[in-house]
Amino acid sequence: MSKQQFTDYLNRPPFASAMTKMQSSPPPSPVEEQEPNPTPPAEAPGPEDPKKKLLDSITQLGQTNVPQLESNIYCMSIIGQVEGHIQLPPQNKTTKYEHLIPQLVAAEQNSKIEGVLVILNTVGGDVEAGLAIAEMVSSLSKPVVTLVLGGGHSIGVPIAVAGTYSFIAETATMTIHPIRLTGLVISVPQTFEYLDKMQDRVVSFIARHSKISEQQFRELMTRTGELTRDIGTNVIGADAVKYGLIDEVGGLGSALKKLNELMENARKGKDEVLQ
């Protein structure tokens, strides 16, 4: 593009609007929010013309003051496929691992956030990515409540049990089935051992973070006659609680109530340490 062309671009209306959009896109920081002057400037018209006053404040600040909702809960949803090392084709709805991990870091670091609500409706995905998310969730110092809605299948299971407390909707299901290998198998014993180790990572994580025993989980995982395409079990709502995989059957209301309760306890604990 030549210099002349570029100046033409600058003068064209779409670019001018794009520039202002780009500049106004970041939300005002909390400090800026408090800044708007409560008293109108001297040259502003009298209070009899509220419309003009509003217009003036728009031109002065360059934008209207949008009230921002401050929540002490951070809600994270894990939907579709958990995407890890390979970017999945566009027909998949994915939860991107590289976006979720910094979100968890930010939630842990942000002093305004006191609790995290994880909502799951996932069909599974990458083992490494799923386990990484589960580990991050379980190591957060803030209370985390997980809620399985619809489905929390395969690698969604360790994420669902990683929180401080877990809920499952009455109609939600979790499919427990073994990890499969597709692709090239170079040598059978080594591949078997590798896969077995992979499986162990998932199973031991679940056993450590929920009330289900490793034995019981393996029994569910290798059961035949329940799934059409695979071995394993489909646990629905109350069944997941019965096996000890999930803490309670409940919906959004009970999940938020529990999270508020846990946050209250965490606050109390902090106060005790300070005294």
Please list the active-site residues: 154, 177
Query: Judged by CB, which is closer to other proteins: 51, or 85?
Result: 85
Strand partners, 167: 147, 248
- 42-51 LR contacts (CB < 8 Å, sep 24+): none
What residues contact 217, with CB distance under 8 A and at least 6 apart? 176, 203, 206, 207, 245
Burial class (CB in 10 A: 0-12, 13-18, 19+), 124: buried
Give the number of other CB atoms < 10 A from CB of residue 15.
12
Q: How far apart are the first and last CA of the chain?
A: 66
Query: Judged by CB, which is closer to other proteins: 89, or 253?
Result: 89
Residues in the site for other proteins, rule: CB under 8 A? 1-3, 6, 9, 14-15, 18-19, 21-22, 25-27, 74, 81, 84-92, 96, 98-99, 102-103, 105-107, 109-110, 123-128, 130, 151, 153-155, 175, 177, 179-182, 195, 198, 202, 229
In Å, how far from its chain's centre is CA 107?
Answer: 10
Is residue 49 classed as helix, strand or coil in its secondary structure? coil
Tell me the closest approach of the beta carbon of residue 162 to other proteins, in angstroms: 15
Tell me the closest approach of the beta carbon of residue 193 to other proteins, in angstroms: 14
What residues contact 48, with CB distance under 8 A and at least 6 apart? none
Query: Judged by CB, which is closer to other proteins: 9, or 192?
Result: 9
Query: Judged by CB, which is closer to other proteins: 135, or 261?
Result: 135
Tell me the closest approach of the beta carbon of residue 56 to other proteins, in angstroms: 27
Tell me the closest approach of the beta carbon of residue 75 to other proteins, in angstroms: 11
